[in-house]
C-alpha cells in the first residue's frame, strides 16, 4: 500500500506528519521524495547503509563523426544542444534524457553518456526503512531523481511517501501510483489557497485524499468550510502547541515523546486504510 503525504504550500508539516506516522505503525518503508530539501532523515537519525550516485542520460558526442548538420539541436525541445559551424555545446542541466538526439543523428556521432544529478540513500532506524534522494546543488531537475528513488518501493510494505512542496512536476512524479494522499495544510489563507490547487491536481489524477490540519487553532475556519463543502475527510488535527513546535525544532518526532499521539497516528492510518478499501 502506498500513501503519499503532500501539501502544495511548503512548511505546513508534511515531513512531520510522514515521520510521526511512520514511527507509529509497523512494517514501514518511508520514502522521502523531496530530493531538493530532504528532511526526514534529520528527524529519524537513521544509519545510512547504502549510498549510490544517480545519473541521467545525456548525449556524448564523438566530434570526429559530427559534421555539424545541426539536426540534433533542431530536434531538442529543451535547447540542451547548440551547434555552430565550429563547435557543439551540450548543456547537461537542460537535458531531459529523452535520447532523441541519438536517434536523429545521421552520422551516429552521439551515444549515451551520463551525468550525475544526485545520490540515492537507504538505511534503517530500528525496523523502519528510510529511502531518500539528495539532489546535487545547482542541478535543476528533480524528477529523474524522484523516479530513481521510487524504484526502491516495496509495495508489500506500508509505504509512506514524503512529497516536495508545490503542485507541478515533482509533486506529480511523487504521488503518481499512490493509493491515497494525505494533504497537510494549515488553517490560514495561504494554506487554503495552496490546498485547493493541490486537491485539483489529485482529483485530475483520481487519487483519493484526506486532510490533516496542522497548527490547528491559528488562522481561521475556512479550511474546514472548504473540506466540508468538498466532502473531504479531515483525518487529524494537530494543535499549535509549543511542545510540538519545540520537539520539531530539535529534530525529534513528537509522537515518540508524547505517546498519546502515537495512538492518534495509528487511528489516522486505520482511517486511511478504510478510505482505500471503501
Interface residues with another protein (CB under 8 A) are 8-12, 15, 34, 36-37, 39, 42-43, 57, 75, 77-78, 96-100, 103-104, 135, 137-142, 164-172, 176, 186, 188-190, 193-194, 197-198, 200-201, 204-205, 218-220, 245-246, 248-251
Give least dist CB 270 to another protein, A.
Answer: 28
Give least dist CB 75 to another protein, A.
Answer: 6
147: left (phi over 0), alpha (psi -120 to 50) or beta: alpha
Nearer Cβ to another protein (246/263): 246
User: Is the distance from CB of 213 to CB of 234 less than 8 angstroms?
Assistant: yes
Nearer Cβ to another protein (37/263): 37
234-239 sheet: strands from edge to edge: 47-61, 110-125, 128-135, 28-32, 158-162, 2-6, 180-185, 209-216, 234-239
Give least dist CB 267 to another protein, A.
Answer: 26
Nearer Cβ to another protein (38/269): 38
Give least dist CB 191 to another protein, A.
Answer: 9
CA angle 27, 172, 103 (to 5 degrees): 110
- In eight-state DSSP terms, residue 94 is T
Nearer Cβ to another protein (11/208): 11
Nearer Cβ to another protein (98/157): 98
**Strand 110-125 relative to strand 47-61: parallel, antiparallel, unpaired?**
antiparallel
Nearer Cβ to another protein (75/124): 75
Q: Which helix (H) or strand (E) holds 53?
A: strand 47-61
User: Is the distance from CB of 54 to CB of 145 less than 8 angstroms?
Assistant: yes
Give least dist CB 249 to another protein, A.
Answer: 4
Give least dist CB 7 to another protein, A.
Answer: 8
* CA-to-CA separations, 179 to 2, 144, 166, in angstroms, rounded: 5, 22, 20
Amino acid at each position: 500500500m502506498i500513501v503519499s503525504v503532500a501539501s502544495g504550500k511548503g512548511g505546513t508539516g508534511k515531513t512531520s506528519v510522514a515521520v510521526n506516522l511512520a514511527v507509529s505503525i509497523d512494517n514501514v518503508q518511508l520514502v522521502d521524495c523531496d530530493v531538493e530539501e530532504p528532511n526526514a532523515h534529520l528527524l529519524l537519525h537513521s544509519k545510512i547503509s547504502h549510498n549510490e550516485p544517480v545519473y541521467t542520460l545525456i548525449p556524448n558526442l564523438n566530434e570526429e563523426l559530427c559534421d555539424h548538420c545541426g539536426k540534433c539541436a533542431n530536434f531538442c525541445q529543451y535547447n540542451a544542444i547548440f551547434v555552430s559551424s565550429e563547435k557543439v555545446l551540450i548543456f547537461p542541466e537542460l537535458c531531459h534524457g529523452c535520447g532523441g538526439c541519438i536517434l536523429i543523428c545521421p552520422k551516429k556521432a552521439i551515444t549515451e553518456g551520463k551525468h550525475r544529478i544526485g545520490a540515492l540513500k537507504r538505511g534503517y532506524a530500528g525496523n523502519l526503512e528510510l529511502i531518500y534522494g539528495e539532489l546535487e546543488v545547482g542541478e535543476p531537475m528533480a524528477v529523474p531523481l524522484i523516479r530513481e528513488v521510487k524504484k526502491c518501493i516495496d509495495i508489500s510494505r506500508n509505504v509512506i511517501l514524503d512529497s516536495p512542496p508545490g503542485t507541478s512536476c515533482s509533486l506529480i512524479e511523487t504521488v503518481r501510483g499512490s493509493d491515497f494522499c494525505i494533504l497537510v495544510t494549515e488553517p490560514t489563507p495561504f494554506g487554503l489557497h495552496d490546498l485547493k490547487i493541490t486537491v485539483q491536481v489529485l482529483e485530475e489524477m483520481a487519487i483519493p485524499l484526506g486532510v490533516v490540519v496542522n497548527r490547528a487553532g491559528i488562522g481561521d475556519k475556512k479550511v474546514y468550510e472548504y473540506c466540508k463543502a468538498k466532502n473531504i475527510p479531515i483525518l487529524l488535527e494537530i494543535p499549535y502547541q509549543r511542545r510540538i513546535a519545540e520537539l520539531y525544532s530539535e529534530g525529534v518526532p513528537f509522537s515518540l515523546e508524547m505517546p498519546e499521539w502515537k495512538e492518534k497516528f495509528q487511528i489516522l492510518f486505520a482511517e486511511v486504510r478504510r478510505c482505500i478499501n471503501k
